[in-house]
Amino acid sequence: MTAMRFTYQAVERLPKHLAQGVLYHSEEFEVAALSCACGCGHRVMLLVPDSHQVSAQNGTPTVRPSISVCDAPCKSHYIIAGGHIEWLPAFSTAQASAVMRNQIARHVVHDERQRPWISRIWITIARAFAKLRSALRI
């Protein structure tokens, strides 16, 4: 693992190419992105403030909670504090899978709550009809 210092860059939209050592943050779209701190080149996306909080002071970012790169072979796990990397123990494959499942489940629940109530009713009705239809085919 390389010793690296991150800088903060506020952007309207995330760039396609992420420079190593730069945390890009779009407040408008509530996302941040960086190239993995280990140097593997994996694009790390953070949902702000859903899963992470990003702050900057004097051009250096702090990200909380830790960043766990579960969807890349490196399985890196670290905190960015004042631009510095604080390395944490890497997750095992089982831990990484559990983290990914929990994140997906949390976002599904969050997305459901964001829908208007009438949309949620129609989705519930459609699911009920789909279950009824498959039950009648048996």
Instruction: Write out 42-106 in H/E/C secondary structure.
Output: CEEEEECCCCCEEEEECCEEEEEEEEECCCCCCCCEEEEECCEEEECCCCCHHHHHHHHHHHHHH
Q: Is the model's pTM score more than 0.85?
A: no
More confidently predicted of 47 and 114? 47
88 or 109, higher pLDDT:
88
95-117: pLDDT as tens digits: 878 877 877 776 666 555 555 66
Mean of pLDDT over the chain = 85
Which of the pair, 50 or 65, is modelled with greater confidence? 65
Q: Please report the pLDDT score of residue 122 as a whole number.
A: 72
Would you say residue 11 has pLDDT above 60?
yes
